[in-house]
Amino acid sequence: DTEVTQTPKHLVMGMTNKKSLKCEQHMGHRAMYWYKQKAKKPPELMFVYSYEKLSINESVPSRFSPECPNSSLLNLHLHALQPEDSALYLCASSPQGGTNEKLFFGSGTQLSVL
C-alpha cells in the first residue's frame, strides 16, 4: 500500500465552524507533513511531524492545529478560519523525514471558507 489517504476531498465551512482534515498512511513512514497550496502556486509547508512529535511549525496561525494521534494518522483541526485560508490542503509522508527522501502526497482537501 503506497497511498496517502485524505478526507474529506472537499470542505466548505463558515468562519465560525470547527472542522478537521484527516490523513492516513500505512507505509510505515515516520514523517508526516501538512502543506497548503493556493491556485497556480507551489505548496507551502505548514507542519512536520517526525516520529509523532511536531518538529516544524512554519509560523502557522493558531487557528490551524495539527495532531498526530499515532504513526499512521495526521489530523489538522480548523477553527475560526478566514476566507483567505481557502486553498488545497495536502498531506504527505516520507520514511524518516529529511530532504533526501521522496514525498508521498495525498490527493488533498479543497477547502473553501465562506
Rounded to the nearest whole angstrom, what is the least distance from the CB of residue 71 to another protein in the complex? 19
CB atoms within 10 A of CB 89: 23
For cell 500500500, name the residue: 1
Q: Among residues 38 and 77, whose Cβ is nearest to another protein?
A: 38
Q: Among residues 66 and 106, whose Cβ is nearest to another protein?
A: 106
Rounded to the nearest whole angstrom, what is the least distance from the CB of residue 67 to another protein in the complex? 20
Residues that bind another protein (CB under 8 A): 4, 6, 37, 39-45, 48, 55-56, 58, 88, 90, 92, 97-100, 102-108, 110
Q: Are 92 and 102 in contact (CB under 8 A)?
A: no
Q: Are 81 and 112 in contact (CB under 8 A)?
A: no
Rounded to the nearest whole angstrom, what is the least distance from the CB of residue 68 to another protein in the complex? 17
